[in-house]
Structure 1
Amino acid sequence: MTLEDLLALQTLDGLEPAKALRVIGTLVDHALDTRDLELNSRVLHWAAKLEPRLTDDTERVLLDYYWANAWANVDADARQDRTQAWVWDQEPAQRQLLLLRRALTRPTFPKVPDLLQCQILTNLGNQLSYLGRFIEAREFWSRALDAMPDFWMARFNRGFGLITYARHLYDMGHRAVLALAAHTDMVNAVSSLDAHAEYGDVRLRAEFVAYAQSIAARVDLEAVSAEYNPDGFSLGEDAREQGYRKWCLQECLFLNPLNDAGPNSIAARDVMQLPTFCTLADERPVVLGLFNQLKQEFVSARWMYYEGVTSEGLHFSDRDVALYNTLDYPALGLAAEKVKLAFRMSYSLFDKIAFFLNHYMKLGIAETQVSFRHVWRDKKTKLLRPAFADTENLAFRALYWLSRDFYDEDIKDSMEPEARACHDLRNHLEHKYLKLHLMALPEPETTPSPFDLFKDDLAHSLTVADLERRSLRMLKLARAALIYLLLGMHTEEERRRAASGSDGLAATMPIHMADDLYKQRLG
């Protein structure tokens, strides 16, 4: 069929699913090129009707991708209005996140062509970054580049995410290093584009070059590069500490923006602190102690996770502890409990971040009613609170959208496929009964089977591998959330200073760092 034939179609009902899928893919691209929103609306309708007809999981991945692109066309049109772009609730953004994540988690995703995988990963990173979640977006761009190092769309967008990150930092040294890394990615993206035009729209080349030039015009990149010695720092006094810090660097788990520039030894320290902030003369700076708790709990959860997944042999505390063998490959012992604790501590940080926001933004929510999922909206009107609504605080918007990845019984609109599973896991860890298994148990038979004496209907069962994977993901989310909190606070402080017209005339008071003696054992 010619393009004219496809444009004349009014329904896809008579077409085979595979052919209908190709039609949707072609017309989505045409709608983008021509900015034909009427055609795009038709494609969105067709995608919804085609979904239940597909039986092949690989075709479902492709439909998710095309469908997300159709919503991206809607999104691109809305962004032409700058005020609309800053609205916090955006249906096109929500739809794209849902579809791209669904494609990513389908069982056949690893089997689809590398190019399609990279396109899905890159688009997901782009969407997260647009919403302010540039820290998490970097992982998806990097995954695309691991699969195809010359996939220049991912490389440029990673650079764009880094420069967005840099603009929100309040440490000028960190800002300069991230600008250098962003410029490097953008320049390399142009080189890859010239060699592999088939990976995208080559008309973007001029835009890529302009962005790289704008960074070079604002930052003395040669001076930054000459002074930056990323691998000239110690990773610790012994092999155990060095192994831990190397692992944290590789997993990008230090509270340090330089870790997002690479796994270099300079980043192996949790250096991020609160930005400069103002309080009234009679107001106590209690956020200092509160942030201490958030940061300490995160780094402690990180260490417990590491100990749990790297421990070898029987710990002496488990020796002579009489436990039953339940005959379903139970995973018992201190190492497993450390990973459980890491998950619980990481998950609990999000409500504590909401507690921080409630105080700092003077939201007036009763302390017993504060939660990460509910802090953003007025309980009665269901609208975003005035302190957040339509503000150009990208980092706080990132926190808002991150909160929507958590399952809540009262809201049920999570955009994260595993949100319910993580919610149930936390609920069982805190209040019920989780049973860990060394390996996956056989799937239950569909036909009635004899009574199984050892089948545990009371437990929430999970393999060690799944617990470790979810715990690591929760740690990474907690790290991102803590950094967004600091960056959002910095933006808010700048807004407050501009609104007050103080011009820095307020009295200043330096805050000293706590000595390590306060971190030793109690007593």
Structure 2
Amino acid sequence: MDLDFNEFAFSLRGLLDTDPSEAIKQAQCINISEDNRLSVQLKVLKGSILVDGGKITRQTEVIQEGLTLFYEVYMQCPTGNNAYNLGNGISATVGFPPHNDQWLDHQEQTREDRAKARQYFWEAVKKDDIDNELKTQILTNMGNELSASYRYGEAHDAWFFALKTDPRNGVAAYCAAQSLLWLHFHGCSSDATFEQIARLAQIIRINHDQVVSYTGAQAAEKILDFAQKWPEPPTQTACKDPFIRWIKDERLALAPTLEVTDNNLEELDWLTLPAMRYPLSRFEGTPPIFSMFNVLKSDFILARDLTWRAFDRHHWSVVEGFADTFDGAMYGPDVSAFILAHRAVLDLLDKVAVVANHYFDLGEVAGKVSFGTLWRAAPDKITKKRPLRKKVENIIRSGVRALYGLIELSGDYTRNVGILNSHKKIRNAATHRFIILHDYLFDSHEHHNEIDRHLYEPFLQEALQALRISRSAIQLLVLAIAQNEQTRRETSDEILLEQQLPNYKRDF
């Protein structure tokens, strides 16, 4: 029976490439009895064919039919694979946003569903029961989800780690290359970006068979056609500095794109504000936004530096006088440095909101600005949903779509079900209570409301991710400002004075 099932599944999946309508028809004919020991596998197979076939043939009702099966399977068995299938199914029902003035309407109408898809992808990638083949696909799809909302920094993180999980993943390479092209033509990269696109194209060419296995023959042909247009990449110079290598490996440079970063520390963080344009009648000297951004940037660099130093326990003085609590808890300035760096870098999110409130003139009192509440109005009395503030909506509709990515990131960080909400909880605990890191934890540890306990090693990964969250928020802020400046230049009837400040050089 197992052999028959495997042959049937292989045949049905192959049919998706040659005749997706027939594959859907055959899948719909599968009768599943709950007492069949293969009922779960049959539901997953049927659901997969319906979701993938529905995407190819653009039949929403077919996708929904497959999604219903995925829900049933997930409720029975919430494994990583089933969480991924569910996220994939929800993502398929949403589809990609249109490239026209309906873009924002689509994003708002599908906001809850897209958040659910991200939640299931996030849950799946953290499960211990998934293999690398599935993990790399989850990360690739997560990158695509984030990219659709202009969350390009996080999207490239996902594709980067997808390739780190499976260096043969030509689909992730293709997605990253396409995104880099878009960023380059919108002024968010350097000429060296083309070298990285060539490297990604090389990955596609070398691993064409793997691309076919991930996407099917039709999609793989399009991807290979793209890769064939790029030359062989130049040899990449190895970085010898361990600090810079760490920044590159963890994607912590404050740059427009991180795929090609300089090996010179002084030029590593080259993200800057674009030239500002002001009507001649309103020009009042150097805009304060430049000062605010300088502090934002230097605070991020300090938090990153503190995190790096915290990794080296020998860097810190050996301090005596801590009581041994005999519970695996760790104490010392190096441990506190991790907690402090995590909190400090997430504090920058509110400052990002302050800069946005000032630049876009959103009208909130500076002292009351919050990253979580700035963007949306009070909940609608009927739908209970929080619509975008009218001024924010108008800014996005004018062409500043990166601002929506920042708002969506805010939702993932602020909402209890958001994929980044754990960071907010840790930050609040570190600010108002105590966080204690442990080498090991017992289930029998007594709970105290004043203390949040975390395992040391997983917390280190949380600290690194917190840096990436703030880096992404700052990247989106700069892109949103750049998009607004471009719109202002193209639509203003007034004479605009352009102001671009020179590099600041500190005298020691």
TM-score category of the 2 structures, normalised to the smaller one = 0.7 to 0.9
Q: CA shift at 1:461, angstroms?
A: 1.1
Match in the other structure for 1:65: 84
User: Do the aligned residues in 2 keep the contact of 1:399 with 1:481 (CA within 8 Å)?
Assistant: yes
Distance (whole Å) between structure 2 residues aligned to residue 475 and residue 187 of structure 1:
30
Q: Name the residue aligned to 1:7.
A: 28
- Deviation of 1:277 after TM superposition, in Å, equals 0.7
Structure 1 residues 41 and 117 mapped into 2: Cα distance closer, same or farther (>3 Å)? same
Q: TM-score, normalised by structure 2?
A: 0.83
Worse-matched range after superposition: 36-45 or 353-362: 36-45
Equivalent residue number for residue 486 of structure 1: 478
How far apart are residue 323 of structure 1 and its match?
2.8
Shift of 1:287: 0.5
Aligned identity (percent) is 20
Are 2:445 and 1:401 aligned?
Answer: no
Q: How does 1:224-373 map to 2 (within 5 A)?
A: 231=237, 242-257=241-256, 259-261=258-260, 264-265=263-264, 269-279=268-278, 280-282=282-284, 285-312=287-314, 315=317, 318-319=319-320, 322-373=321-372
Pairwise CA distance, 1:458: 3.8
CA–CA distance in structure 1, aligned partners of residues 268 and 98 of structure 2? 41
Q: Which residue of 2 is the match for residue 447 of structure 1?
A: none
Aligned to 2:501: 511
* Cα distance in structure 2, aligned partners of 1:266 and 1:335: 24
Separation of aligned partners in 2, 1:194 and 1:5: 27
Which residue identity lines up with residue 243 of structure 2 in the other structure? Answer: Y
Cα distance in 2, alignment partners of residues 308 and 470 from structure 1: 14
Aligned partners of 1:486, 1:119: CA distance in 2, in Å? 30
> Cα distance 1:288–1:147, how it changes in 2: closer, same or farther (>3 A)?
closer
Compute the displacement of 1:406 (Å).
1.0
Q: CA deviation at 1:262?
A: 5.5
Unaligned runs of 5+ in 2: 1-7, 13-22, 381-385
Give the match for residue 148 of structure 1: 166
Q: In structure 1, which of residues 160, 165, 174 is the aligned counterpart of residue 178 of structure 2?
A: 160
Provide closer, same or farther for how the CA distance between residues 245 and 11 of structure 1 changes in structure 2, counting only shifts above 3 A.
Answer: same
2:177 equivalent to 1:177 = no
Contact 1:51 1:63 in 2 (8 A): yes
Match of 1:422 in 2: 423
Q: CA deviation at 1:482?
A: 1.1
1:37 deviates by: 1.7
Q: Is the 8 A contact 2:170 2:208 kept in 1?
A: yes
| 8 A Cα contact 1:230 1:264, kept in partner | no
The Cα shift of 1:464 comes to 2.2
Find the aligned partners of 2:248 and 2:124 in 1 and give their Cα distance.
29
Residues matched between the structures, number: 471
Structure 1 residues 98, 206: CA separation in 2 closer, same or farther (over 3 Å shift)?
same
Report the Cα distance in structure 1 between the residues aligned to 2:238 and 2:459, rounded to whole angstroms: 35
**Structure 1 residues 126 and 347: CA distance shift in structure 2, 3 A:** same
Residues of 2 paired with 1:33 and 1:507: CA distance?
Answer: 50
Counterpart in the other structure of 1:440 = 440
Residue ranges of structure 1 left out of the alignment (5+ in a row): 236-241, 445-451
Alpha carbons of structure 1 residues 463 and 206: separation in structure 2 relative to 1, 3 Å: closer
- Residue 53 of structure 2 aligns to which amino acid in structure 1? H
What whole-Å deviation, never above 9, does each CA across 1:279-300 have from its counterpart, x for those lacking one? 3223750101111110111001
Tell whether the 8 Å contact from 2:309 to 2:315 is kept in structure 1 after alignment. no
Q: Does 1:204 align with 2:219?
A: yes
For 2:118, which of 74, 84, 97 is the aligned residue?
97
Q: Cα offset for 1:384?
A: 0.9
Q: Per the alignment, do residues 106 and 243 of structure 1 end up closer, same or farther by CA in structure 2, a change over 3 Å counting?
A: closer
Separation (CA, whole Å) in 1 of partners of 2:486 and 2:249 = 33
Over 3 Å counting, the alpha-carbon distance change for 1:158 and 1:324 in structure 2 is same
SS in 2 for 1:82: coil
Q: Tell me the SS of whatever aligns to 2:187.
A: coil
Cα separation, partners in 2 of 1:283 and 1:384, compared to 1, 3 Å: farther
The 1:267/1:159 distance shift into structure 2, 3 A limit, reads farther
Separation in structure 1 between the aligned mates of residue 315 and residue 191 of structure 2, nearest angstrom: 45
Q: Deviations over 1:30-75 (max 9, x none)?
A: 2223322222222222322332222xx5xx2222222223223323
Instruction: Tell me the SS of whatever aligns to 1:41.
Output: helix
Partner of 2:432: 431
Please say which of residues 246-255 and 288-297 is displaced more in the overlay. 246-255
Find the aligned partners of 1:407 and 1:75 in 2 and give their Cα distance.
23
Give the C-alpha shift of residue 119 in structure 1: 1.7
- Per the alignment, in what secondary structure is the counterpart of residue 305 of structure 2? helix
The counterpart of 2:152, out of the listed 101, 126, 134, is 134
Question: How many Å separate the matches in 1 of 2:192 and 2:30?
Answer: 52
Amino acid aligned to 1:245: I
Change (3 A) 1:230 1:282: farther
CA distance in 2, matches of 1:313, 1:294: 26
- C-alpha separation between the residues in 1 aligned to 2:390 and 2:451? 43
